[in-house]
Amino acid sequence: MKKKRSVLLDQYIQLLKNGNVVAFPTETVYGLGADAWNPDAVKKVFETKGRPADNPLIVHISNTNEVEDFADTISEDARKLMEAFWPGPLTLIFRKKPEVLDIITAGLDTVALRWPKHPLSQDLIARAGPLVAPSANSSGKPSPTKPKHVKEDFGDDFPVIEAGTTDIGLESTVLDVTEIPYRIYRPGAVSAKEIEKVSGQKTKLATPSSKDTAARSPGTKYSHYSPEAKVQWLPKDASIDPSKELYLLHSRSAHPTGENIIHYKGDYSRMARELYDRFRQADHLGMTSVFVESFSDEQRKESIVQALQNRIDKAVG
Ligand code: AMP
Ligand code: MG
């Protein structure tokens, strides 16, 4: 089985080695990969996505030793995080080595690194990596969680390694370990609590709207993840009128039913897995709005709910 898969990967590996971009699955969302040591290949990532040049890229690696090729200093506490959460949905930001391409880091003195868990991504990166890999969507669109989303944005002939729907559905937690307290620029499946427990360091959730956050992690200042339909929070007691609108609920008891009303019944992981697909569906169905039931403070204690809150806030704008 493993051998067959490797043979299938050969053509994509060749494309990457020749300086092309290839979309591939990770456990979070589909990534748009390119050789992290080839500046022309990295440039193609920005061009393909229409990504602003000041938004740095995450470098994807396939073992912890590769960190040393990019990161200048690696503290003992950061090593504990690598051991506990890699491979997995945690991106770590380190001070960078001078040889890391400036186009990747957008001129910052730091570099973001992640070792993804999906077996296909691991094979691909081990054989063609390290790879820069932002989400494989046009800039501003929701991240792709299915191969068809990549093709919607980049065309039917675009090279995508197809592996069905991604498991988590929201992007990795982005954690800056260059200063104490550690800063979370983007909440994801790995929670602040787990990070604090493993590393012994305090964490702070960066305020997305602050100038300081935008300077340290420029991606936070861009509106992301939005469909054409207007995304809005649905307040606790607001009524539901399903004509031309999509409703994403998770906790309400009394509500009308209909195919435009999706109820996750407290299954936040499924809500996370489906969110971006629902956003895209809303556009295909010509919906004018997507209403998402607001989360309570209690619900926001769960890391996946924090991640949902962050992505939906960005889509609301
Ligand atoms: P994406 O790959 O599109 O999911 O986005 C990557 C995110 O990581 C963006 O929000 C970037 O701003 C952030 N990022 C990448 N590199 C760095 C870095 N060196 N320092 C801080 N944030 C980074
Ligand atoms: Mg993205």
Task: With beta carbons less than 8 A apart as the criterion, state whether 280 and 139 touch.
Answer: no
Q: Is the pLDDT of residue 210 over 80?
A: no
Which of 182, 216, 250 corresponds to the end of one domain? 216
Output the CA 208–ligand 1 centroid distance in Å: 13
Question: Tell me: the pLDDT tens digits for 193-202?
Answer: 999 999 999 9
Q: Which of 309, 195, 194 is nearest to 248 (CA)?
A: 309
* Residue 222: inside a domain: no
Output the CA 154–ligand 1 centroid distance in Å: 21
211 and 234 both lie in a single domain: no
Does the CB atom of residue 220 touch ligand 1 within 6 A?
yes
Q: Is the pLDDT of residue 203 over 50?
A: yes
* Residue 119: inside a domain: yes
Output the CA 107–ligand 1 centroid distance in Å: 12
98 and 65 both lie in a single domain: yes
Q: Indicate the pLDDT class of residue 208, thresholds 50, 70 and 90.
A: confident
6 and 130 both lie in a single domain: yes
* Residue 223: inside a domain: no
* Residue 224: inside a domain: no
Question: Tell me: the pLDDT tens digits for 220-230?
Answer: 777 667 788 99
* Residue 18: inside a domain: yes
* Residue 225: inside a domain: no
Total number of domains in the chain? 2
pLDDT at 157: 96
Residue nearest to ligand 1 atom 3, measured at CA: 134
Question: Tell me: the pLDDT tens digits for 69-124?
Answer: 999 999 999 999 999 999 999 999 999 999 999 999 999 999 999 999 999 999 99
pTM metric for this prediction: 0.95
201 and 263 both lie in a single domain: no
Does the CB atom of residue 58 touch ligand 1 within 6 A?
yes
User: Residue 94 maps to which CATH number?
Assistant: 3.90.870.10
Q: Is the pLDDT of residue 1 over 50?
A: no
Which of 188, 216, 244 corresponds to the end of one domain? 216
265 and 134 both lie in a single domain: no
Does the CB atom of residue 55 touch ligand 1 within 6 A?
yes
Q: Is the pLDDT of residue 3 over 80?
A: no
Task: With beta carbons less than 8 A apart as the criterion, state whether 93 and 111 touch.
Answer: yes
Q: Which of 207, 169, 142 is nearest to 26 (CA)?
A: 169
For residue 233, give both structure tokens.
Answer: 């929070």
pLDDT at 218: 81
The residue-averaged pLDDT of 259-269 equals 95
* The ligand 1 atom nearest the CA atom of 224: 3
Question: Tell me: the pLDDT tens digits for 129-139?
Answer: 999 999 999 99
Question: Tell me: the pLDDT tens digits for 139-176?
Answer: 989 999 999 999 999 999 999 999 999 999 999 999 99
Among 26, 55, 137, residue to substitute to test ligand 1 (most atoms within 8 Å of Cβ): 55
Which of 183, 216, 249 corresponds to the end of one domain? 216
Among 42, 57, 166, residue to substitute to test ligand 1 (most atoms within 8 Å of Cβ): 57
Kindly report the average pLDDT of the chain as a whole number: 93
pLDDT at 7: 60
Among 174, 184, 220, 311, residue to substitute to test ligand 1 (most atoms within 8 Å of Cβ): 174
Q: Is 170 helix (H, G, I), strand (E, B) or coil?
A: coil
66 and 161 both lie in a single domain: yes
- What is the domain extent for residue 248? 230-316
For residue 70, give both structure tokens.
Answer: 């990019």
Q: How many CB atoms lie within 10 A of CB 244?
A: 13
